[in-house]
Amino acid sequence: MTDRLTKQDPRAQYPRPPFPEQPQSAPGLAKKMDPKPDHGETSYKGAGKLAGRKALVTGGDSGIGRAAVIAFAREGADVAISYLADEEQDAHEVVKLIEADGRKAVALPGDITEEAWCRKMVEKAVSDLGGLDILVINAGRQQYRENVEEVSSEDFDRTLKTNLYAMHWIVQAAVPHLDAGSSIITTASVQAYDPSAILLDYATTKAGIVAYTQALAKQMIERGIRANVVAPGPVWTVLQPSGGQPQEKVQKFGQASAFGRPGQPVELAPVYVLLTSQEGSYISGEVYGVTGGAGVA
């Protein structure tokens, strides 16, 4: 892992492709990736910016969600993480990291494509944490298909339920528990603005996340609650080798970015902290791109 506090050339700060082939069955495990992603396990240093806060992060077992969870705990928050039961190995590691920082961890395994679970999950997070100040909706489904004929109704349905329906169900359940000063963050993608041909359903949902969150922000600010979107570019997460990209693209993942490499999850963590802390008090309805130079427009 690199020292993130030392001045250095960002193009060479983290591993660059080519990467080895590493197919996994969805949803996959971060611990099996080569090179292993940096979620901030040893590299993120906190400064108490979220002391006493209580957060719920979906998809908190790996990838960008895991990086946000680690950062939140290092900044003083107690955190509940949502994940699929198949991701228990990764989730167990995250729970240990939260607890090692002296914060409370709540593990919430379940399938967010089920409305009843989404609502129960929120209620359990609120009950076990003793409240809720931060909601990060990050869990996502990405499975490439080479052409439109291959995107089955089952594919389309599961992607929309994971990325859009679950977001709505979780927001509905959580908002009554949020008070003024709370924050909601959704995770979209550069795919919302520059969609790949092989990610029809995924790109559609990411554009929907942007629109939903910007509309939600207009409602929430009337309650003193901020809502924002983070839109990553190519980030080295288990989403990619577990069906999100063909293996030949996994091997070259991030190479086409201006940096010549993919981003690491920890490189997004400070943005999630900013948008949930009082340092981001005048930020709402915004889309924060962390794209390796591609921008969002």
pLDDT band at 1 (very low <50, low <70, confident <90, very high): low
Residue 8 lies in a domain: no
- Average pLDDT on 56-77 reads 98
Q: How many other CB atoms are there within 10 angstroms of residue 32's CB atom?
A: 14
Contact assessment for residue 241 and residue 4, using Cβ atoms and an 8 Å cutoff: no
Residue 39 lies in a domain: no
Number of residues that this document lists for the chain = 297
Distance (Å, whole) CA 203 – CA 265: 20
Residue 101 lies in a domain: yes
Residue 40 lies in a domain: no
> Which residues 6+ apart lie within 8 Å of 155 measured at CB?
143, 145, 201
Residue 176 lies in a domain: yes
**Where do the DSSP E strands lie in the chain?**
54-58, 78-83, 105-109, 134-137, 183-187, 226-232, 287-290
User: Residue type at 106?
Assistant: V
Residue 139 lies in a domain: yes
Q: Does the pLDDT value for residue 47 go beyond 60?
A: yes
Number of domains the chain is built from: 1
Residue 1 lies in a domain: no
Q: Which domain holds residue 172?
A: 45-287
Residue 296 lies in a domain: no
Pair of tokens at residue 243 = 């069906």
Q: Is 193 part of the annotated catalytic residue set?
A: no
- What's the pLDDT tens digit per position in 174-212? 999 999 999 999 999 999 999 999 999 999 999 999 999
- Average pLDDT on 27-38 reads 95
Closest residue by Cα to residue 239 from 19, 37, 7: 37
Domain CATH code at residue 133 = 3.40.50.720
The one catalytic residue in 202, 212, 272, 288 is 202
- For the entire predicted model, the pTM comes to 0.97
